[in-house]
Amino acid sequence: MKQIGIIGVGYVGLTTAACLAEMGHQVIGIDTDRQKVALLGQGQIPFSEPQLPELVERNLRAGSLSFTTHYSEALRDADMVFICVGTPSSPSGHADLSQVEAAARQIARFATRSLIVVLKSTVPPGGNAEWLADILQANLPSTIKAPLVVNPEFLREGSAVYDCFHPDRVVVGAWDTAAAEEVAGLYVPLQCPILLTDPASAQMTKYASNAFLATKISFINEIARVAERIGANIHAVAQGMGFDGRIGAEFLESGLGYGGSCFPKDVLALSAIAEQHGYSSQLLQAVMEINATQREWAVLKLEQALVSLQDKAICVLGLAFKPDTDDVREAPALELINMLCQRGAQVQAYDPVAIPTAQKVLPPHAGLRYCGDAYEAIQGSDAILIATHWPEFRSLDWDRVRSTMAGSTVLDGRGLLSSDQMRTLGFEYLAFAS
Ligand SMILES: NC(=O)c1ccc[n+]([C@@H]2O[C@H](COP(=O)([O-])OP(=O)(O)OC[C@H]3O[C@@H](n4cnc5c(N)ncnc54)[C@H](O)[C@@H]3O)[C@@H](O)[C@H]2O)c1
């Protein structure tokens, strides 16, 4: 059993904390957000993530998990401390590492014994691990050692707990072999491949993985643009491609493109770090360009179908960037709502869990109304835009939907529905090349 501190209990930190506690370790989560820590102390999860509330509550009750705002408390007996703070985009496109720097400085200030510092936050390679190790070394007394181990996180929101217990792989990058092996040892019970490497390669593995998945999405959207012009069905094309084991079926869904807290910022940061090191990546730039223009494509489709968007009632189904989460960071729906409102549309929006998070970040638009359920949002609409792949949208009573809409246009931005069935029901069904 290890004593473990987790710095930053957001999506990654809280999941990591709860999973490590469940695996038998003694874990303390530290966060600067007092409100979050107070909620967590009462067993309340500040965001929506399947299985996480039960896991947190069970380990809180068992005494293996606790939360604090005090670094001194969390570091007092810690063998390891995980940095899980945010690394959002800065205006230049580079990863903003100020939260990581603050965490490292606090570790140096409050550590009273040697401990391993595990960097789980996504931080670009190219000198940042060295920079962090220098901050630790320069600010710690010489008697305290704090070797740095890079251990990037690959969990997916919406299945974070499952992913934590069933990782496809664990990547551990360090200069100090003993520290690397100790961190790798935490994951041995999970029986997954564990790659031991150097810090830069571990960091690059994370960025390259996200960039590859984002490329797959932009690739299929690019092919869909061609398919639409020549009359091919992109869903059949994607299915046919996906059967090829070398390609695989995942991330081949054409539609509104990628969003979320990771792909947009990580592709951008990788491109920025490449530029900084004298290389301009045309591939990454194309991936981002295709993704950005998918949203414009969606608005154009609606505009063409309805002639004008001025005063049209548009039902937007889905606000979260993906199903099973209330995370709306870089969610396509938010950008689409802004674009629709700017064109004079009246938007009736619904999401099973993400309305509160969307309300916090979407500017108040006179034309925007949040609805309590999907049917309320659909009522009287001229068109429906499906922006998130929530299964509950597929199982709506589409006969009823048809009779309660004012119009008949459905833009399926997530390839959720069958074009044949929708057209049989009398909808003007719009999607990418289907
Ligand atoms: N969310 C994901 O799906 C995911 C997946 C893989 C990797 N990552 C990476 O993991 C990192 C964390 O992402 P997240 O989505 O969990 O972020 P988040 O914004 O949900 O959580 C970050 C937490 O850190 C806290 N914090 C900030 N500065 C702090 C400090 N100095 N001391 C203590 N707490 C502090 C914040 O209050 C917040 O609760 C990022 O680098 C991200 O790219 C995220």
Q: Kindly state whether residues 16 and 121 are assigned to the same domain.
A: yes
Give the mean pLDDT of 410-434. 91
Q: Kindly state whether residues 167 and 226 are assigned to the same domain.
A: no
Q: Kindly state whether residues 181 and 229 are assigned to the same domain.
A: no
- Model pLDDT for residues 89-144, shown as the tens digit of each residue: 999 999 999 999 999 999 999 999 999 999 999 999 999 999 999 999 999 999 99
Write down the catalytic residue from 262, 315, 341, 371: 262
- Model pLDDT for residues 272-321, shown as the tens digit of each residue: 999 999 999 999 999 999 999 999 999 999 999 999 999 999 999 999 99
Q: Is residue 182 part of a domain?
A: yes
Q: Kindly state whether residues 259 and 157 are assigned to the same domain.
A: no
Q: Kindly state whether residues 42 and 11 are assigned to the same domain.
A: yes
Shortest-distance Cα residue to atom 43 of ligand 1? 122
Shortest-distance Cα residue to atom 13 of ligand 1? 86
Residue 239 pLDDT > 60: yes
For residue 105, give the amino acid letter. Answer: R
Q: Is residue 27 part of a domain?
A: yes
Q: Is residue 206 part of a domain?
A: no
Atom of ligand 1 nearest to the CA of 100: 31
Q: Kindly state whether residues 173 and 147 are assigned to the same domain.
A: yes
Q: Is residue 296 part of a domain?
A: yes
Domain that includes residue 364, residue range: 212-430
**Of the residues 172, 196, 220, the one at which a domain ends:** 196
Q: Kindly state whether residues 299 and 414 are assigned to the same domain.
A: yes
Q: Kindly state whether residues 132 and 224 are assigned to the same domain.
A: no
Q: What is the pTM of this model?
A: 0.95
Q: Is residue 190 part of a domain?
A: yes
Q: Kindly state whether residues 192 and 218 are assigned to the same domain.
A: no
Assess whether the C-beta atom of 32 lies below 6 angstroms from ligand 1: yes
What is the tally of structural domains in the chain? 2
**What is the model's pLDDT at position 365?**
86
Q: Kindly state whether residues 82 and 112 are assigned to the same domain.
A: yes
Q: Is 371 a known active-site residue? A: no
Q: Kindly state whether residues 242 and 360 are assigned to the same domain.
A: yes
Query: Mutate which of 261, 324, 327, 360 to test ligand 1's pocket (most atoms within 8 Å of Cβ)?
Result: 261
Q: Is residue 186 part of a domain?
A: yes
Q: Kindly state whether residues 55 and 182 are assigned to the same domain.
A: yes
Q: How far apart are the CA of 122 and the centre of ligand 1, in A?
A: 9
- Model pLDDT for residues 32-50, shown as the tens digit of each residue: 999 999 999 999 999 999 9
Q: How far apart are the CA of 154 and the centre of ligand 1, in A?
A: 13
CATH of the domain at 359: 3.40.50.720
**Of the residues 162, 196, 230, the one at which a domain ends:** 196
- Model pLDDT for residues 338-353, shown as the tens digit of each residue: 999 999 999 999 999 9
